[in-house]
Amino acid sequence: MATLPYATPTDDQISWRDSARDSDLLPAHLVAFLQCGVSITLGARGRNGRPVVGAGVACRVSGMANVRVFLSRRTDAAVIDAVEAGSPIAATFSRARDHRSIQLKATRAVIRPTEPDDASEAARQCALLADDLVELGYARGQADVYAFLGAEDLVSLEFRPERIFTQTPGPGAGAELPR
């Protein structure tokens, strides 16, 4: 098993600062990261005001600005209900091999059906996550179960990020990346 370098919040801040971009669009390096086979944790506020958490299985970015996270209608019903009730959304994307983590926040999101080619893209991203886990020492069967897509009831949680944060562990974690 190879020793892999860890990412740092400073890495995120430097790549963000150095990326040439229109302030309304996400930089290409971030779009690539969001779609590279990362684990996705979703947070929202339920109708009762209490936090609810869910797990996305994959992500697609359209127009370098609109984020679409795929999740299961059955297993993530609380997050879907919260979004449909108008809750803000936070989505944290974490890469297993180096712990790089980015959080996107928006004051509103919508739930829509997936598009015809979304299932194959979600399967591709799940396979990449499983491969990363194997490289880190997980048994293939264990990695495949962790990254298993399996959901036939995927919906798309769609939002345009308003705030972006580095959540990569280390000094500076939680810092906002200015738009």
- Is the predicted pLDDT of residue 16 greater than 80, yes or no? no
pLDDT band at residue 149 using 50, 70 and 90 as cut-offs: low
In a domain, 81, yes or no: yes
Residue-number span of the structural domain to which 108 is assigned: 9-13+23-166
115's tokens: 């598009």
Q: Give the chain's domain count.
A: 1
pLDDT band at residue 148 using 50, 70 and 90 as cut-offs: confident
In a domain, 32, yes or no: yes
pLDDT in tens, 67-123: 999 999 999 999 999 999 999 999 999 999 899 999 999 999 999 999 999 999 999
In a domain, 174, yes or no: no
Instruction: Name the average pLDDT for the chain.
Output: 90
- Report the distance separating Cα 16 and Cα 20, nearest Å: 9
143, 130 Cβ separation under 8 angstroms: yes
In a domain, 113, yes or no: yes
Q: Where is average pLDDT lowest: 6-10, 33-37, 144-148?
A: 6-10
In a domain, 176, yes or no: no
In a domain, 175, yes or no: no
Give the CATH number for residue 124. Answer: 2.30.110.10
pLDDT band at residue 1 using 50, 70 and 90 as cut-offs: very low
Amino acid at 141: G
